[in-house]
């Protein structure tokens, strides 16, 4: 085995210069990334960024224009059958057979894989509070999503490919899903978890990657993002202040001044310098609180908000200024 092939077999997923064009539209542009054993990789990007294209390339449903995608050293296009044996896939819109019940879906998938996973399927369905006795056409969106999760995890795959798997599922059941995912990684399994918001992946991802316009613009460990967690600073002064008084402080971002009030975001490392600037003026009111991780993320990467609205302008300008390209 060549050193390159050995490296491939060690990493669960390996994307190398992966590019997909549809006519003149480049949906995915030179993406290079590895996902290791036991790792959950949160794959984030706004609508149309290239997440689903990446997943379809990974599942061998699309042929790369250039570059390669492999799972456990198997090329996802040329060796897709081998790849499908080790991957569990939860699509964004699960394709189910309307007339078949959950049990019948389980039996059908078990038949395709030549193995009986019905015990494991029943256990997962029970934990997700899903009734496997009902035909798919009678299931709500959230329950269809649960059935797709059961079908993906029941064979204990090495890799889970999850396309916004918890959309439509209530928060308590999402927690159950997260514990199923943790058990999967504790056993050495990996997951690629795609979403358009950090909130969906932040409790389970080890690393996050941000894709935008087909390019992987940043890859970062979630704990490093947490370490750079921003504080929201608000101050009201006795007289008018100017933006210029606060913009020069390294690390301070999203500075807004409205007459006598200042609002900005700052990592902990910038607080001392910022406070010295603030206290150079007469302060009437002051507030400093740690921002939720989602806000730190929005500020650095300019992603969509959970409610679908765009991130503010300064965040957009700062996007890509931190983090690093995937290697």
Ligand X SMILES: Nc1ncnc2c1ncn2[C@@H]1O[C@H](COP(=O)(O)OP(=O)(O)OP(=O)(O)O)[C@@H](O)[C@H]1O
By the criterion CB under 6 A, which residues form the site for ligand X? 22, 25, 27, 45, 47-53, 196
In this complex, which beta carbon is closest to ligand X, that of residue 33 or of residue 132? 33
Instruction: Judge residue 148's burial from the number of C-beta atoms within 10 Å of its C-beta, 0-12 exposed, 13-18 middle, 19 or more buried.
Output: buried
Closer to ligand X by Cβ: residue 53 or 155: 53
Those residues whose C-beta lies under 8 Å from the C-beta of residue 22, and which sit 6 or more positions away, are none
User: In the complex with ligand X, which residue's Cβ is closer, 27 or 72?
Assistant: 27
C-beta separation of 132 from 120 below 8 A: no
Please say whether the dihedral angle defined by the alpha carbons of residues 125, 128, 129 and 134, taken in this order, is positive or negative.
negative
The token duo for 57 is 């390339």
Task: For the CB of residue 197, give the shortest distance to ligand X in the complex, in Å.
Answer: 10
Q: At which residue do the structure tokens 């969906």 appear?
A: 200
The least distance separating ligand X from the CB of residue 304, rounded to whole angstroms, comes to 9
Q: Where are the alpha helices (DSSP H) in the chain?
A: 3-10, 51-58, 80-86, 102-113, 118-127, 141-153, 171-186, 198-201, 222-227, 244-247, 271-279, 293-301, 313-318
- Tokens 């290079």 locate to 32
User: Could you tell me the smallest distance in angstroms from the CB atom of residue 66 to ligand X?
Assistant: 16
Q: Toward ligand X, which CB reaches closer, 87 or 109? A: 87
The least distance separating ligand X from the CB of residue 324, rounded to whole angstroms, comes to 21
**Beta carbons of 177 and 185 less than 8 angstroms apart:** no
- Report residue 298: phi and psi, to 5°: -60, -40
CB contact set of 300 (below 8 Å; sequence gap of 6+): 225, 228, 315, 318, 319, 321, 322, 323
C-beta closer to ligand X: residue 226 or 310: 310
State the nearest-atom distance from the C-beta of 27 to ligand X, in Å. Answer: 3
Pick between residue 22 and residue 97 the one whose CB is nearest to ligand X: 22
Rounded CA-CA distance 201/150 in Å is 19
- Report the distance separating Cα 280 and Cα 226, nearest Å: 30
The CB-of-173 to ligand X minimum distance in angstroms stands at 22
Two structure tokens written together for 199: 């909130």
Closer residue to ligand X (CB): 47 or 140: 47
Q: How far is CA 67 from the centre of its chain?
A: 22
Tokens at 6, concatenated: 């050995």
Minimum CB distance to ligand X smaller for 27 or for 161: 27
Specify the residue, 196 or 215, whose C-beta has the smaller distance to ligand X.
Answer: 196
Name the minimum Å distance from CB 130 to ligand X: 25
Min dist. Cβ of residue 193 to ligand X (A):
13
User: Beta strand pairing status for 215-221 and 66-71?
Assistant: unpaired
**Two tokens at 82?**
């081998």
Q: How far is the CB of 25 from ligand X (least distance, A)?
A: 5
């Amino acid at each position: 085995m060549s050193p390159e092939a050995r490296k491939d077999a060690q990493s669960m997923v390996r994307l190398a210069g992966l590019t997909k064009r549809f006519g003149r539209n480049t949906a995915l542009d030179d993406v290079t990334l590895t996902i290791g054993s036991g790792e959950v990789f949160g794959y984030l990007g706004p609508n149309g960024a290239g997440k689903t294209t990446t997943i379809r390339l990974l599942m061998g449903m699309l042929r790369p224009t250039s570059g390669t995608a492999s799972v456990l050293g198997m090329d996802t296009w040329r060796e897709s059958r081998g790849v499908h044996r080790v991957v569990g896939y939860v699509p964004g819109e699960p394709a189910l057979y309307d007339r078949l019940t959950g049990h019948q879906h389980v039996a059908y998938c078990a038949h395709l894989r030549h193995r009986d996973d019905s015990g494991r399927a029943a256990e997962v369905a029970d934990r997700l509070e899903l009734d496997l006795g009902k035909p798919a056409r009678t299931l709500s969106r959230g329950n269809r999503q649960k059935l797709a999760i059961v079908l993906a995890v029941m064979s204990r795959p090495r890799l889970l490919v999850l396309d916004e798997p918890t959309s439509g599922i209530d928060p308590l059941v999402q927690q159950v899903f997260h514990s199923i995912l943790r058990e999967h990684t504790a056993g050495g399994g990996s997951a690629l978890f795609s979403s358009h918001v950090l909130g969906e992946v932040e409790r389970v991802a080890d690393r996050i990657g941000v894709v935008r316009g087909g390019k992987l613009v940043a890859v970062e460990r979630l704990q490093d993002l947490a370490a750079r967690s921003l504080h929201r600073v608000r101050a009201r002064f006795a007289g008018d202040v100017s933006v210029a008084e606060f913009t020069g402080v390294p690390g301070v971002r999203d500075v807004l001044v409205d007459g006598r009030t200042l609002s900005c975001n700052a990592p902990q490392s910038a607080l001392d310098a910022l406070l010295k600037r603030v206290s150079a003026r007469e302060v009437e009111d002051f507030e400093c609180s740690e921002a939720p991780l989602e806000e730190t993320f929005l500020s650095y990467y300019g992603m969509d908000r959970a409610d679908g609205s765009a991130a503010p302008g300064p965040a957009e300008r700062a996007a890509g200024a931190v983090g690093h390209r995937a290697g």
